[in-house]
Amino acid sequence: MTAARTNGGHGAGVPRRIAVVTAGLSQPSSTRLLADRLAESVRRQLSAQLGGEAVDVEVVELREHAQALAGNLLTGFPGPGLRSAIDLVLEADGLVVVTPVFNASYSGLFKMFFDVVEQGSLSGTPVLMAATGGTARHSLALEHAMRPLFAYLHAVTVPTAVFAATDDWGSRGDAHGGLVERIDRASGELARLVAAAPPAARTERVDPFETPTSFEDLLAGR
Amino acid sequence: MQFGIFTVGDVTPDPTTGRTPTEHERIKATVAIARKAEEVGLDVFATGEHHNPPFIASAPTTTLAYIGAQTERIVLSTATTLITTTDPVLIAENYAKLQHLTDGRVDLMMGRGNTGPVYPWFGKDIRDGIPLAIENYHLLHRLWREDVVSWEGKYRTPLQGFTSTPRPLDGVPPFVWHGSIRSPEIAEQAAYYGDGFFANHIFWPAEHTERMVGLYRRRFEHYGHGTADQAIVGLGGQVFMRKNSQDAVREFRPYFDNAPVYGHGPSLEEFTSQTPLTVGSPQEVIEKTLGFREYVGDYQRQLFLMDHAGLPLKTVLEQLDLLGSEVVPVLREEFARLRPAHVPDAPNHASLVAAAGGARDSGVHATDDVTGRTAEDAR
């Protein structure tokens, strides 16, 4: 389905929007916990960058869309709830995406969401990647699995990806190289990218229904 | 306004019995369904075209000619004719022949239709789907309108001084619809030629159909064929009815849950709220169908999908009885009452002949190319 969005820019005074996509399954989940910590840090640092402007943060819990995602794969269109979630993500100025690591990669639920987002629609979007897992041995899943996914989607990933293992939740977060420091470093990177983007920096997308290719061009001299 | 049915010719197990009809049974059932459609007063029977299992929808003109011989009034059409992988020369010949045999009871709906693996079987590539649809139709359009065609394109061998025979009946080619689920290029194509546009409608939400039809109407006007609300629009629909709404839901649910395309995905309730599917009483079908014009405007053709997902023939025939006796008469009256006078009917052979200023001898070289003399002159 073609996205209706034709204006990715901001009017004056429109707050920057951060969308958080989280693929945790249990409730509460450590994935959502990490997502919330990242969102709060991004909000604080982005607002500071923008001289105290308000920042909108919206969270998409993929668990709530699990059946709709399977439906979308089969029917080719999203139901209304999933459509709203996709639109939130497409209209955001920056994304925070968080998944549990399952079998050496992002979860299937996480991938399903990015499989039904229209091709090209995340081009140029700043993305902070994060993941959770039982041990730090899973942490490179972010680099080997998730970063190529967003490279393929032409999103702009920030250099620091945040992995939180079970150990991290029990240790002093403010230690050198600890979880809090990693959260703040990655969030700062995302905040700077989003703040630096001028209004309407996101690619203006041509709506093929509003601006169709004329038939003379399609026919191309035949 | 025209009402009819379209079939994709799927051979699907009946999920309530586990039994799969044989190809022979399904082919014969298709004929029985078409005859029933005429008997209950419908205007159009359209068959799909597929070249792979589990379908029996190859050789569509064979099917349509056989049905044509057993019916008198119903318009025989396609949903869709594969303009991407079928040689336009064969389409020109086959459907002109069908037009003669059935005395003009023929129109066609062009579609890309295929899945990826099908294209190479016909020497084509799915990535060329849109350019194939455009080039092939452009040639077909000429083959039916010019007695002698010299042509060169990208996707088939050139033609030098080629004449497609038989020439269209009365010198008037069959009316053509262009069908699409999602491609704005196809709406543009239909608008360019002033042909009809058929929105599949049944698999996706109404907002999407509204955008496709809206584009077609605007461009129809842009290309000078009339005002936007005079463009020729068709819609798909999908219904299952019983007198009592709850009985319809109970009986149809296993077919829905296991259906090709959307089965095992959204629930019946979700799909009926998000798409044109109506499962319920004839009155509910009437109400939902009348609602279509609120987002596509006054339109000319409504086709229903009635026979897919393994529904047994007996059930399909019962559905057609309900459609013909309780639904379509009411829809005909209501749509006619709501439609402004300047919105035309869908063209048929008679109206196309009238618009062309009468039937003309369509024999090849009926007029001498060099002297302009006809056979009558020579007498």
Amino acid A7: pLDDT: 38
Interface predicted TM-score (ipTM) of this complex, two decimals: 0.81
B184 contact A CB<8A? yes
Chain A contact for B261 (CB, 8 A cutoff): yes
In this prediction, residues B356-367 reach a mean pLDDT of 76
pLDDT digits (tens, 9 = 90+) for A87-128: 999 999 999 999 999 999 999 999 999 999 988 899 999 999
B159: left (phi over 0), alpha (psi -120 to 50) or beta: beta
Percent of chain B with pLDDT over 90: 91
Using CA coordinates, name the residue in chain B closest to A76: B204
pTM to 2 decimal places: 0.89
CB contact at 8 A, B147 and B167? yes
**pLDDT given at position A169:** 87
Q: What is the pLDDT of residue B369?
A: 64
Q: Is the pLDDT of residue A2 over 70?
A: no
The pLDDT value recorded for residue B378 is 59
CA–CA gap between residue B215 and residue B196 (Å, rounded):
13
Q: Please check the confidence at residue A52 and state whether its pLDDT lies above 80.
A: yes
pLDDT of B255 > 70? The answer is yes
Residue A3, pLDDT above cutoff 70? no
Let me know: does B296 contact B285? Beta carbons within 8 Å. Answer: no
User: B211, B213, B264, B273: best mutation site toward chain A, by most A Cβ within 10 Å?
Assistant: B211
Interface contact B184-A1, CB threshold 8 A: no
Q: Work out the average pLDDT over A33-52.
A: 97
Q: Does A221 lie at the interface with B, CB-CB under 8 angstroms?
A: no
The angle formed by the CA atoms of residues B301, B76 and B22, to the nearest 5 degrees, is 110
CB distance from A211 to chain B under 8 Å?
no
- pLDDT tens readout for residues A178-212: 999 999 999 999 999 999 986 545 545 667 888 88
**Residue A135 pLDDT > 80:** yes
Instruction: Please report which confidence band the pLDDT of residue B353 belongs to, taking 50, 70 and 90 as the band edges.
Output: very high
Q: What is the mean pLDDT of residues B133-157?
A: 97
By C-alpha distance, the chain B residue nearest A211 is B215
Mean pLDDT, chain A, whole residue set: 89
Rounded CA-CA distance A77/B221 in Å is 30
Distance (Å, rounded) from C-alpha A91 to C-alpha A61?
Answer: 17
The beta-carbon neighbor of A215 closest among B189, B212, B266 is B189
For residue B204, what pLDDT band results from cuts at 50, 70 and 90? confident
Label each residue of B243-269 as H, E or C. Answer: CCHHHHHHHHHHHHHCCCCCCCCCCHH
Chain B nearest C-alpha distance from A220 (Å): 9
CA distance B103 to chain A (A): 33
A99, β-bridge pairs: A131
**Vertex A71: Cα angle to A65 and A75 (nearest 5):** 140
Alpha helices in chain A (DSSP H): 30-49, 66-75, 80-90, 108-116, 141, 147-152, 166-170, 179-196, 215-219
Instruction: Select the residue from A5, A75, A116 to test the B interface by mutation, using most B Cβ atoms within 10 A.
Output: A75
Copy the structure tokens of residue B152.
């060169």
Q: Which residue of B has its CA nearest to A213?
A: B185
Q: To which H or E segment does residue A61 belong?
A: strand A55-61
What is the dotted CATH code of the domain comprising B2-378?
3.20.20.30
Question: Rounded to the nearest 5°, which phi and psi values hold at A131?
Answer: -150, 160
Mutation target to probe the B interface, by most B beta carbons within 10 A, among A5, A65, A206, A215 is: A215
Phi/psi of residue B4, each to 5°? -165, -170
How do residues B292-347 score in pLDDT, each as one tens digit?
Answer: 999 999 999 999 999 999 999 999 999 999 999 999 999 999 999 999 999 999 99
Report whether pLDDT(B88) > 80: yes
Residue B116 confidence class, pLDDT cut points 50, 70, 90: confident
Report whether A39 contacts A18 (CB < 8 A): yes
Transcribe B187-203 into DSSP letters. HHHHHHHT-EEEE--SS
| Contacts (Cβ under 8 Å, ≥6 apart) of B349 | B99, B103, B104, B105, B106, B169, B170, B172, B174
